[in-house]
Structure 1
Amino acid sequence: MKRRPIPYWISNLPADLPARDLVRLAPPRWRIEHGDRERKTTLGLDHFEGRPFTGRHRHVTLATAALLLLTEQRSCPKVPARA
């Protein structure tokens, strides 16, 4: 029988935070993970092996700026969608 991973969250939120508020804060985490995955696959964020810190920092900055541009173009109704 295959063991399934146990889902859990690690958080630095206050311990007395109601569960309802914790669940409300969960969707932004998904958006962040989706953006990270898109930066890695579409924008080449994972192609920084062997770069010094300044080169990696520039690469991450440019990949993040490119993601911002793509997101803005997708949300703008005046820009026609690519075929």
Structure 2
Amino acid sequence: MFLKKLFFIRFLYNGKTVDENVELMEIALSTEHRWLDEWNEDGYENLYPKYKNGGCKAKLAKEQFKKLDETMINIQ
């Protein structure tokens, strides 16, 4: 889900509207608005999953997240 959130933000920065993202990503409008609110409140850090009750841990190591960050920044 983290990757979808990143793509959502990237699409917005590339000129797509929230409504266009809803159709493109096939996610509920309420979800898209929540993601946008998370981004606006605290930026990138707020997009990370918030695990409760010991849920699933991230499958990527810190270095892999860093590489993903660099890749996302360089996508045009």
Q: TM-score range by the shorter chain?
A: under 0.3
Structure with larger RCO (C-alpha < 8 A, sep 6+): 2
TM-score by length of 1: 0.23
Structure 2 length-normalised TM: 0.24
Higher share in helix = 2
